[in-house]
Amino acid sequence: MQRFGKVYLVGAGPGDPGLLTLKGKTLLESADVVIYDALVSPPILAMVNPHAVLIDAGKRRGRHSRLQDQTTQLLIESAHTAAIVVRLKGGDPFVFGRGGEEMAELVAAGIPVEVVPGVTAGIAAPAYAGIPLTHRLYSSSVTFVTGHESAGKYRPQINWAAIAQGSETIVIYMGLHNLAVIVAQLQEAGLAAETPVALVRWGTRPEQTELIGTLGTIVAQVEEQQFEAPAIAVIGAVVQMQEILAECRPTI
């Protein structure tokens, strides 16, 4: 009977190395192979076992160095020769990270696999900007949604109208490229142009920057300031707390 190594899908968190879990750090220090995404921060990569094989899997918009099926095949091949294989993914593997797809393929191939959750950017980036996603005075519901849908999905498109009416705080991943369309649909669904919006770029990293506006102004602000991805968008009244809490943000 053939024996394989084990693959660990490890969430690297949003960037601040202090947010990496202890379990994730231990695996990086003992890994034989680490296959990582482009958004994993250099300080976290510095924790990797110096004798491990490091492989860049890319995964930035418009700059995919490997197709998804190629990455999965690489994981399978690595498990044939290495005892500990770490698939290091930005944020959390199961939150818009395609971790479920990779795990299913590994299970189908008979490869032992385990997920190690990470802190997702949709929670950490707003927190580091001084924006609580819930607040007794402003919001008791949160929706996490991707602003960048892939082809061949299980459904044709996100129901922005339902999201606009169903949640007091909306957190959008990978939405900057489609921001104008998203904003227009949310306003058509009834959200006021005065609804506060925050964009947090490179959340939890030293280069973190924020852009604060409203649904009516944010698209023009992005163009004027040439605000670029990667960024998390937060839409809702909780963004108002940023003026009060930003001074208490964590030290990066």
Weakest mean pLDDT among 33-42, 44-53, 100-109, 149-158? 149-158
pLDDT bin (cut points 50, 70, 90) of residue 65 is: very low
Whether the per-residue pLDDT at 152 is higher than 70: the answer is no
pLDDT bin (cut points 50, 70, 90) of residue 3 is: confident
Interval 238-242 mean pLDDT? 97
The dihedrals phi and psi of 3, each to the nearest 5 degrees, come to: -105, 140
Whether the per-residue pLDDT at 170 is higher than 90: the answer is yes
Burial call 162-197: b when 16+ CB within 10 Å, e when fewer? ebbeebbbbbbbbbbebbeebbebbbeeebeeebbb
> How many angstroms separate the CA atoms of 4 and 67, rounded?
24
Query: What pLDDT does 151 receive?
Result: 43
Instruction: Confirm if 42 and 140 have CB atoms less than 8 A apart.
Output: no
Give the percent of the chain with pLDDT over 70: 92
Partners of residue 54 on adjacent β-strands? 34
Nearest to 230 by CA among 112, 147, 107, 139: 147
Whether the per-residue pLDDT at 227 is higher than 50: the answer is yes
CA 77 to chain CA mean position, Å: 26
Interval 62-75 mean pLDDT? 74
Task: Look up residue 136 and give its two tokens.
Answer: 């007794």
Whether the per-residue pLDDT at 221 is higher than 90: the answer is yes
Query: What pLDDT does 66 receive?
Result: 54
Strands 231-235 and 169-173: antiparallel
Interval 12-23 mean pLDDT? 97
Instruction: Confirm if 79 and 27 have CB atoms less than 8 A apart.
Output: no
Question: Which of these is catalytic: 37, 89, 92, 103?
Answer: 37
Domains of the chain and CATH, by start: 6-116 (3.40.1010.10), 121-247 (3.30.950.10)
Mark whether 174 is an active-site residue.
yes
Instruction: Confirm if 69 and 75 have CB atoms less than 8 A apart.
Output: no
Query: What pLDDT does 148 receive?
Result: 76
Question: Which of these is catalytic: 59, 89, 92, 103?
Answer: 59
Whether the per-residue pLDDT at 154 is higher than 80: the answer is no
CA 221 to chain CA mean position, Å: 23
Give the percent of the chain with pLDDT over 90: 85
pLDDT bin (cut points 50, 70, 90) of residue 1 is: very low
Question: Which of these is catalytic: 47, 89, 92, 174?
Answer: 174
Q: Residue 220: CB partners within 8 Å, gap ≥ 6? A: none
Cα Rg, the chain, nearest whole Å: 19
